[in-house]
Chains A and B, each alone.
Chain A
Amino acid sequence: MFDYFITLVWIVIKILAIIVSLFLIAAYLSLAERRFIGFMQDRIGPNRVGPYGLLQPIADGLKLFLKEIIIPTRANQYLFVIAPVLSIGPALAAWAVIPFDQGLVLANINIGLLYLLAMTSLAIYGVVIAGWASNSKYAFLGSLRSAAQIVSYEIAMGFAIIGVVLAAGSMNLTEIVLAQQGGLFHWFWLPLLPLFVVYWISAVAETNRLPFDVAEGESEIVAGFHVEYSGIAFSIFFLSEYANMTLVSVLSVIMFLGGWLSPFEGIPVLSTWFNWVPGIVWLMLKVSFFLFLFLWLRATFPRYRYDQIMRLGWKVFIPITLIWIVVIAIALKVNIAPWFSNT
């Protein structure tokens, strides 16, 4: 019984470590977003609180924490309160199977990728229920848009993941990374390039980020599904959005850019020079690139029109992924080097 207790305590410590660092990443990602987009739009952005505005997220968090939570009259009270919980729960639960380095993973299960797909597909309930329970037209419109969009892009995303599973021969995330060993050109981004692009764009759509943020659409429906939320309830939606952004970035790194593997692997001199760098640093660098891409996309593109979003998801992405899965299967069968030679 005591053994169980020790294991339990260790697991709780690991969970806390992941969640605390995730919240810090989410907080500072919001600051980075405001600063970077500020620079891209030729303004300064928040720079008053602390040096370079570094304390801004803490001030924001404190402010949101102290604000009153307003529950609208005739809103469905239980569901109104549960919706943010349903939104953040899957966003955090998904992190259980993410390997940060060789062996540095909370739960090394052999269906990790499927588990992740299931968890990210649950995230929609928070949005839909929030929109319905608020008893507001704008919130309801936002949640309807979001439901249709996420269900559509999930299919393309699932097909892209099938391609990765085919290429790696496993659903275990650690094994998927290890299947990409051998340097920059052995990573799956090259043989699975169409799937990589489709996955990334669908990931942006799944997280309701610009240019696919019709669920929020300030200019049309005020703020979409969370228009009635205030204070900490709103900030939980905010946190789960940023946690999901980080999650899909980590996932694209693990599936297509070799996870924690060093990019200098296999290059004679450089690989020995950079041998001391721990894998988690490479992982974080690659993830930062994708997070920056999120901000870059937001500052660059106008919002998609709704029918264009649907057209892109159903008529462009699904055929591309279907064709490329067949290509991958053939490549596996004829053992195209260097990616599929050993299988």
Chain B
Amino acid sequence: MTIQQGIFYIFSFLTVLSASMVILSKNSVRALLFLVLTFVSMAGLWMLLESEFLSITLVLVYVGAVMVLFLFVVMMLDVELASVHEGFTRYLPLGFCIAVLIVVGLVYAVGPKNFGLESVPIPAPHPVDFSNIERLGIILYTRFIYPFELAGVLLLSAIISAISLTFRQRRENNKAPDPHSQVKALKEERLRLVKMETRK
């Protein structure tokens, strides 16, 4: 077994373990932290696939920002554990059927027939100075420029609509301080320096 294989098995074991702990753990905060661990170990797997940019971006965006906001919300929830596990036996048959369907679909789609070594041979490893980001940048801004820009516009409109949904007009007798007037305040208006004689 080469070192790469060893690293692969460690990370894939971690991924499967933590992904199952996400749905098995009873505490919602702990489930979320296992989800974070899943992301981190997936990033390790992506690193093995020589896609270091995507791997680090996964850690940066999902682990460093999105999951923090999730954690922020989940920590403030007061979830009753009993109510979470209430419908477990009732929905078990349906859930089992769906799980079997998904597994069958996955095996059919990415099983050895389509993704075996015969149909997809192992790509030759890139040289050490191969820059993943450069390649990604070139292809994003040439071949995929329209989808890329469209995705950007879509995200921008999502930002604007989210802000406009939560934006509220200031009420009439609002006592909250207005930062603009505070920033404009000068030292001369508020402060009087007095020179005093020193006394024993």
Closest A-chain residue to B40, C-beta based? Answer: A122
Interface contact A147-B60, CB-CB below 8 Å: no
On chain A, the residues within 8 Å of B30 by CB distance are 76, 78-79
Closest B-chain residue to A311, C-beta based? Answer: B179
Q: For residue B34, give the distance in angstroms from its CB to the closest CB of chain A.
A: 12
Interface contact B64-A121, CB-CB below 8 Å: yes
A299 CA / B33 CA spacing, docked (Å) = 37
On chain B, the residues within 8 Å of A132 by CB distance are 29, 75
A129 CA / B68 CA spacing, docked (Å) = 10
- Say yes or no: A147-B53 contact (C-beta < 8 A), given A79-B30, A121-B65: no
How extensive is the interface on chain B, given as a class?
A: 20 to 34
A307 CA / B63 CA spacing, docked (Å) = 26
Interface contact A148-B72, CB-CB below 8 Å: yes
- Say yes or no: A128-B71 contact (C-beta < 8 A), given A114-B56, A118-B59: yes
Interface contact B133-A122, CB-CB below 8 Å: no
Interface contact A111-B133, CB-CB below 8 Å: yes
B79 at the interface (CB under 8 A from A): no
Q: B-side binding surface: helix, strand, loop or mixed?
A: helix
Closest B-chain residue to A123, C-beta based? Answer: B64
A110 at the interface (CB under 8 A from B): yes
Interface contact A125-B69, CB-CB below 8 Å: no
Q: For residue A238, give the distance in angstroms from its CB to the closest CB of chain B.
A: 22
A154 at the interface (CB under 8 A from B): yes
Interface residues of chain B, those whose CB is within 8 Å of chain A, are 3, 27, 29-30, 33, 36, 52-53, 56-57, 59-60, 63-65, 68-69, 71-72, 75-76, 129, 131-133, 177, 179
Beyond the given pairs A147-B71, A151-B65, A154-B64, 17 more chain A to chain B contacts, judged by CB atoms under 8 angstroms and listed by A's residue number, are A76-B27, A79-B29, A79-B33, A110-B129, A111-B52, A111-B133, A117-B64, A118-B60, A121-B64, A122-B64, A125-B36, A129-B33, A140-B75, A143-B75, A144-B75, A151-B69, A171-B133
Interface residues of chain A, those whose CB is within 8 Å of chain B, are 4, 76, 78-79, 109-111, 114-115, 117-118, 121-122, 124-125, 128-129, 132, 140, 143-144, 147-148, 150-151, 154, 171, 307-308, 311
For the complex of A and B, 9 pairs with smallest distance between CB atoms: A121-B64, A118-B60, A118-B59, A114-B56, A132-B75, A118-B56, A147-B72, A311-B179, A111-B52
